[in-house]
Structure 1
C-alpha cells in the first residue's frame, strides 16, 4: 500500500509519542486494545488508522490530536499533479499538533 503524506505523519507522531513515554509497541497496543501488529503498521505508514483506533492510541498516551486548516503551502504534496483552474484551487491543508496533559 502506498502511504499518503498524512498517514506517514500520523505514524511518525504515534511512534514519537510512544518513544517519549518509553513504551514498547506491545505495551501501547495493550493500553489501546489493538494488536501490536496494527501499531507497527500504523507507525510505518503502511496502515491508515481509523479515527477510533487513533483516539485510543492517543488516549493511552495522554495526548490528543488537534487538526487545523490553513492555506496550502507550495512545498506540500497534497495536490499532487492536479492543475486547478484560476480562482478554483482548494483553500487549505491539514496541520497536526499534539497536546499533552
Structure 2
C-alpha cells in the first residue's frame, strides 16, 4: 500500500513539473490560439466568436467560408486585428443577425445616418460631421452676389422645382456657436425637408411684408 502511494506521489510530482509548453505538443493550432487569447471580452472579438458559435464552425471553418486563413480569424478573436466593415457585414448576414449601437451614457440606440440625406448638385454627400442649414433657393455661384435678371430667373426656377441651397460652417467656432443656439442635428435632413423649411420661411417673410404694408397704410 505504501509502495503504491509512493508511486502515485512520484507520478503527481512528475506531472507537476510538466510545463504548459510541453503539454501543447499534441495540441491543434486552434487550441494553441485559444490558449494565447486569454480572457475574452466583448466587442469585435466577442462578436466573431458568437458568430462562430451560431454557425457551429471552427476557426478553420469560418476562415474557409470567408476565404481567409485560420490565423486571420484567430487574430480577430484576440483583438490583435479587426475585420474590415465589409467583412463584418458579411459575418452578420451569414449568421442572420443585426448589429445595434447604443449611447454609453444614456443607453439609447444609435442608428446609422439616413440614406436619403440631402446631397450636392454633383450628387455627392455632404461631410458627415457638417451641420447643414438651408440658405435660400439655389443660384449658381457666379450669380449669388448679383441682382441681375439671370440671377432672378435661377432663383425663381429653384423655388418652383424645389431646389434649396444648403450651407454648413467650416469654422469650428461658428459651428459650435450655431449648435449652442439651435442645437445639434442628429442627421442630415432629406431634400424634401429642406424644401418644406424653405417654403415655410418664404411664407413667414410674405406674412411680415403684408403686416408691414398694412401698418404703413
Please give the TM-score of this superposition, normalised by the length of structure 2. 0.27
SS at the partner of 1:37? Answer: helix
Query: In the alignment, is the contact (CA less than 8 A) between 1:25 and 1:39 conserved in 2?
Result: yes
Aligned twin of 1:36:
70
Higher RCO (C-alpha 8 Å, min separation 6): 1
Query: In the alignment, is the contact (CA less than 8 A) between 1:11 and 1:45 conserved in 2?
Result: yes
Distance 1:39 1:18 in 2: 10
Seen in structure 2, the aligned counterparts of structure 1 residues 38 and 8 have a Cα distance that, compared at 3 Å, is farther
Aligned twin of 1:59:
93
Query: In the alignment, is the contact (CA less than 8 A) between 2:51 and 2:91 conserved in 1?
Result: no
Gaps of 5+ in 2: 1-40, 108-217
Seen in structure 2, the aligned counterparts of structure 1 residues 30 and 64 have a Cα distance that, compared at 3 Å, is farther
1:69 matches 2:103? yes
Please report how far the alpha carbon of residue 46 of structure 1 lies from its aligned counterpart in structure 2 after TM superposition.
1.0
SS at the partner of 1:65? Answer: coil
Aligned twin of 2:48:
14
Larger strand proportion of the pair: 1
Larger helix proportion of the pair: 2
Gaps of 5+ in 1: 1-6, 74-101
Query: In the alignment, is the contact (CA less than 8 A) between 1:10 and 1:43 conserved in 2?
Result: yes
RMSD: 2.5
Seen in structure 2, the aligned counterparts of structure 1 residues 11 and 42 have a Cα distance that, compared at 3 Å, is same
Seen in structure 2, the aligned counterparts of structure 1 residues 62 and 55 have a Cα distance that, compared at 3 Å, is same
Distance 2:106 2:46 in 1: 21
1:26 matches 2:60? yes
Please report how far the alpha carbon of residue 51 of structure 1 lies from its aligned counterpart in structure 2 after TM superposition.
0.7
Please report how far the alpha carbon of residue 60 of structure 1 lies from its aligned counterpart in structure 2 after TM superposition.
2.3
Aligned twin of 1:46:
80
Query: In the alignment, is the contact (CA less than 8 A) between 1:21 and 1:61 conserved in 2?
Result: yes
Please give the TM-score of this superposition, normalised by the length of structure 1. 0.52
